[in-house]
Amino acid sequence: MSSTAATVAGTIAAMGRRARAAAVVLARTDPAQTAAALTAAAAAIRADTDAILVANAEDMARATAAGLSAALLDRLRLDRDRIEGIARGVEAVAALPSPLGALIDESTRPNGLVLQRVRVPIGVIGIIYESRPNVTADAGALCLRSGNAVILRGGSDSTASSAAIHRAMVSGLAATGLPSDAIQIVPTPDRAAVGAMLAGADGTIALIVPRGGKGLVARVQTEARVPVLAHLDGINHVYVDTAADPDRAQAIVVNAKLRRTGICGAMETLLIDRAYSDPAPLLAALIDGGCALRGDAAARAIDPRIAPAEAADWDTEYLDALCTVGIVDGIDGALAHIAAHGSGHTEAIVTEDAATAERFLAEVDSAIVMVNASTQFADGGEFGLGAEIGIATGRLHARGPVALEGLTTYKWLVRGTGQTRP
């Protein structure tokens, strides 16, 4: 470790220790108080709109001079509407029911011991994100509402904007007597700060959530020495079964691919049962909707506008108006293809055959498995969670959309009357 990296690691460890101390306070805090803090933070965001815009203008000027792409500049850019949206998002999290203290289960043992499992905060969560400054408020709010202290590390492009939003969040904490260390932001743009967080900040960070593109998520997943909630890819499949209703199939497939092509719930591969009666209009609907298709020989025989798929296409998340199409032999073929090429995010079947649908639900090993619905519903808000910190494709702790409950753990409470173990 270089001396600079060591200094940065020391800074992050000190932040971690302050966060642990704040987490101890939060664990004892009435959830009504975190809601009040977030309501106050939202008000502060609104009151600070001008200051946030000034900070954002600084970031934008720097980013423009550095030649950032139009897409990145758009992610970075704030305006009055977006700031109002951020404030409303924080209020929405304040209004979510607290997951803390919820009784998971309870039992009484023959010896009279009463056991309960109750939800408690995880402790300290690290959030590593890129150019969207709104994550400062959004992730900060979700962590606080679930009783956790959070260390935020935003992208260097958005330093000033994120700092301005962070000041508003902290003023919400101060207004309600909560420790300001409950929501901290890493002050240094040094990349070593990310490394120090991924190493666990000297044992203080219990969970890392990356929010950003594939490069960031891959780095986090590769380097982290603490648990990570994330998904690297959303290579989502829609399988149109021979028993699909053609109108439903077309509506779902077009929506799953084209409603928004850049979200992780978008369909990336369309699988069609070889026995499906009328695939041509389905493929035409995608092409007419502006989607380029790449397919296997059987698909190309149906529509010559389909380009040949390379081997890598079946394992690619395009996040674009581009889709791979394969013709498979029934549900067995679909299951085998998904097992070989899926990323464990979201898969859907379109079928009117209940037995086939249930088999797909049972045998597809993804975080989300759908019947007769668009994969674009893969979202915490659409799932009724009120928000989401992200979608996880790992197998432990939480899977699929993760919101407040996924940011908690539990402890066992045991109430006795003097029992000793024989």
Task: List contacts with a second copy (CB under 8 A).
Answer: 24, 27-28, 107, 109, 113, 115, 120, 122-123, 206-207, 227, 245, 247-248, 251-252, 254-256, 259, 339, 357, 361-363, 365-374, 376-377, 382-384, 394-397, 399-401, 409-421
Residue 305 or 415 with smaller CB distance to a second copy: 415
CB of 50 to a second copy, least distance (A): 34
Closest distance to a second copy from the beta carbon of 266 (Å): 10
Shortest distance (Å) from residue 393 CB to a second copy: 11
CA 133 to each of CA 73, 148, 165, 217, 218: distance values in angstroms, whole numbers, following the listed order: 11, 20, 8, 17, 21
Residue closer to a second copy (CB basis): 13 or 83: 13
Q: What angle do CA 395, 320, 391 make, to 5 degrees?
A: 20
Question: Which 3 state secondary structure label does DSSP give 18?
Answer: helix
Nearest CA among 245, 246, 263, 406 for reference residue 346: 263
Tell me, what amino acid is at 242? T
Can you tell me the distance from the alpha carbon of 268 to that of 321, in angstroms, rounded to the nearest whole number?
A: 9
The answer to whether 145 and 35 have CB atoms below 8 angstroms apart is yes
- Determine the Cα–Cα distance for residues 204 and 245; give it in Å rounded to an integer: 53
| CB neighbour list of residue 8: distance below 8 Å, 6 or more residues apart | 188, 190, 192, 193, 196
Closest distance between a second copy and the C-beta of residue 254, in Å?
8
Measured from the CB of residue 265, what is the shortest distance to a second copy in angstroms?
8
Least separation, in Å, of the C-beta of 120 and a second copy?
7
**Residue closer to a second copy (CB basis): 14 or 113:** 113
- The residues that bridge with 401 in the sheet, in sequence order, are 391
Identify the DSSP state of 126. Answer: E
Query: Cβ closer to a second copy: 44 or 323?
Result: 323
Closer CB to a second copy, 62 or 359, in the complex: 359
Nearer to a second copy, 4 or 419 (CB): 419
DSSP symbols for 178-204: --GGGEEE-----THHHHHHHTTTTTT
Kindly tell me which of 242 and 372 has the beta carbon lying closer to a second copy.
372
At residue 393, the 3 state secondary structure works out as: coil
- Shortest Cβ 415–a second copy spacing (Å): 5
